Amino acid sequence: MTVYIEDCLIENFVVTFLILKCVTKLFKSQTSKPRLWLACIFASVVACLFPLLHLPNGVMIICKILVGVLIVAIAFKNKMLASFVAFLLFTALYAGINLLVYYFAYGTLNVTDNFPTYILLAILLVTYYFITSCVKLFKKNMTINCFVYEVKIVNGGQEYFVQGFLDSGNTLLDQDSTAICIINFKVFNMLYKHISLENLLAKNYQGLTDPHYVKSKFASGGANLLVFTVDKMWIKINNQQRQFANAKLGLSYAKFGKNFGADMLLNINMFVN
């Protein structure tokens, strides 16, 4: 029985700690270590007492919800409601993953005897890594999406639609002080299907308007960029189309599409004028 209590204390302390850490990473909440540890100790002690109470299922659920409120109140000072909702969601996610692993191991969801403590702790740590990685990816995508705009390019009577990322590091200006947007080879090939990569390497720019080179520095790197002119370009900003005649595009071979979720780096000067 002593071993069971020790295991229960350890397991519930660790799972509560990891869940609260997930909440802090999601909201960037500030909390002190003493508050965090106190919340985890409280949760682990209460978890050991619950089986001794023999409460009806409905009452037990209400008590666990109230305990969750107290855990969040002990751990955090601000964003109480959001933190509590996130705490419940992460708790359900941890429990669900534990049940999933148990089902794969024993072929049933009827949990009669859980995993040994060391296996359960390993599952909790792997789950924590998985959740925090997903949170990080989600926040990164949310941040990137705030700076992604719909762009329409008109050249030679044809319309082309691409996604453009507002790169605050791209302040590149041409010799006539016109802002230059950076495109990758995917967009270039869409605009000029007759110009192959071999043609570019051989500096055969037949079909380009005013091709020339400009030395550049931007988020995905720096190089001498091939710059040319297209007839028109529209950027959709706040549901309004902003038009740029004789827009300048610079070709980069960097694969920034994977990092920014867009095939064009927009120039910050086009948003401040």
pLDDT at 20: 92
d(CA 2, CA 14): 18
| Short-list 52, 29, 31, CA closest to 40 | 31
pLDDT at 108: 73
Helix (H, G, I), strand (E, B) or coil at 103: helix
pLDDT at 3: 41
pLDDT in tens, the chain (273 residues): 344 677 778 888 989 999 999 888 888 777 888 899 999 999 989 888 887 777 788 888 888 889 999 999 999 887 788 888 989 998 888 888 888 887 777 777 776 666 777 787 888 888 888 888 888 778 777 766 678 889 999 988 889 999 888 877 788 888 888 899 999 999 998 999 888 888 888 888 888 888 988 887 655 555 688 999 999 999 987 777 888 999 999 998 877 777 777 889 988 888 876
Task: Output b/e per residue, 219-251; b: 16+ Cβ within 10 A.
Answer: bbeebebbbbbbeebbbeeeeeeeebeebbbbb
d(CA 160, CA 155): 8
